[in-house]
Amino acid sequence: MNTDSVKVFAPATVSNVGPGFDIMGFALYEPGDEVILKKNNTGKLRIVDITGDNGKLSYSPAENTVTIAMKSLLNELELPDNFDVVLNKKMGIGSGLGSSAASAVAGVFALNKLLGLNLSNDMLLNHALIGEKFASGSIHADNVAPCLYGGFILIRGYEPIDIIPLNSPVELYCTAVYPDIEIKTSEARKILPQMYSINDTIKQAGNSAALVAGLLTSNFELISRSIVDVVAEPYRSKLIPFYNKLRDVVLTTGALNCNISGSGPTMFALSANPETAEKIAESMKTVLNEENVNHNIYISRVNKTGPEVRE
């Protein structure tokens, strides 16, 4: 690009997707984060404005996922870090929708576009993961990868990281509800056991494999019965007071299944058509109104494109 500034939108993501703990995720069309990147003459990387965070995020480049990811990329390429950053948070922090991942992805994607680096997503990935690590305390790509690549993503392994895009049914819809409670990823990981029984391990592996098969063959019935998590959800569901009530109502409304997105508190339900997705949204709204919990609801197909430059 020949301009001195660029605006990038990076989408929210649903991660884990039932049995895919740390290895599966998909991108949504909304919500997402927006980064405006502009060259400056100070020779410093600066965050000049943050909106939508209610004052929670740091303006220090060493303590914000967007600039940590950017700094990692600039250092590797030995490029000057003379940029001003505006971060517009358009989703909740600690929402379970990949908020920190979206900021990190938007930052490196914006640098790539503004400087005309023509780097591949594979080359941007590790830098975005470094930004994400600051927020979550560990390297896991099930938000960063679908946000960056778009679509439905499987991470086969991490040494080295192996990203596998998966086809998914065009008719697959996601209804996600973000209740106004905060669950920090780092804290949600601490409550998980360090060891699991071989029986649970077998169940999780079977469900993960079946979910992939269901996606690739557009077998909605198989997708429905495969989105079962025995590793994280039994523990993390206790952090969401209305988990059972919401899930039961959603399933009776026609959802294929209903799970926690990432560490929560966002919960998502999959369906096979937009009409059911809308009905699920209404049922979610009813439950959370009864619980007196403020919330936002998003309906989306799988976003196949990932981040994009906006005017």
**Are 132 and 65 spatial neighbours (Cβ–Cβ below 8 Å)?**
yes
- Residue 184 has a pLDDT of 73
101: left (phi over 0), alpha (psi -120 to 50) or beta: alpha
- Residue 137 has a pLDDT of 73
pTM metric for this prediction: 0.94
pLDDT of 273-287, one tens digit each?
A: 999 999 999 999 999
Looking up tokens 């206790």 gives 238
- Residue 136 has a pLDDT of 75
- Residue 280 has a pLDDT of 98
What DSSP assignment string belongs to the chain? --SSEEEEEEEEEEESTTT-TTTEEEEEEEEEEEEEEEE-SSSSEEEEEEESSTT-S---GGGSHHHHHHHHHHHHHT----EEEEEEE-S-TTSSS-HHHHHHHHHHHHHHHHTT----HHHHHHHHHHHHHHHHSS---TTHHHHHH-SEEEEEEETTEEEEEE---TT-EEEEEEES----HHHHHHTS-S---HHHHHHHHHHHHHHHHHHHHT-HHHHHHH---SSSHHHHGGGSTTHHHHHHHHHHTT-SEEEE-TTSS-EEEEESSHHHHHHHHHHHHHHHHHTT--EEEEEEE--SS--EEE-
Residue 1: is its pLDDT beyond 70?
A: no
Give the catalytic positions in this structure. 132, 185
Residue 299: is its pLDDT beyond 90?
A: yes
User: Which of 22-31, 167-176, 189-198, 267-276 comes out lowest in average pLDDT?
Assistant: 189-198
- Residue 138 has a pLDDT of 75
- Residue 3 has a pLDDT of 79
Give the percent of the chain with pLDDT over 70.
99
Residue 107: is its pLDDT beyond 80?
A: yes
Residues 6+ apart with CB under 8 A from 190: none
Please give the average per-residue pLDDT across 257-268, as a whole number: 95
pLDDT of 218-241, one tens digit each?
A: 999 999 999 999 999 999 999 999
Residue 196: is its pLDDT beyond 80?
A: yes
118: left (phi over 0), alpha (psi -120 to 50) or beta: left
Q: Which of 173, 175, 230, 177 is nearest to 206 (CA)?
A: 230
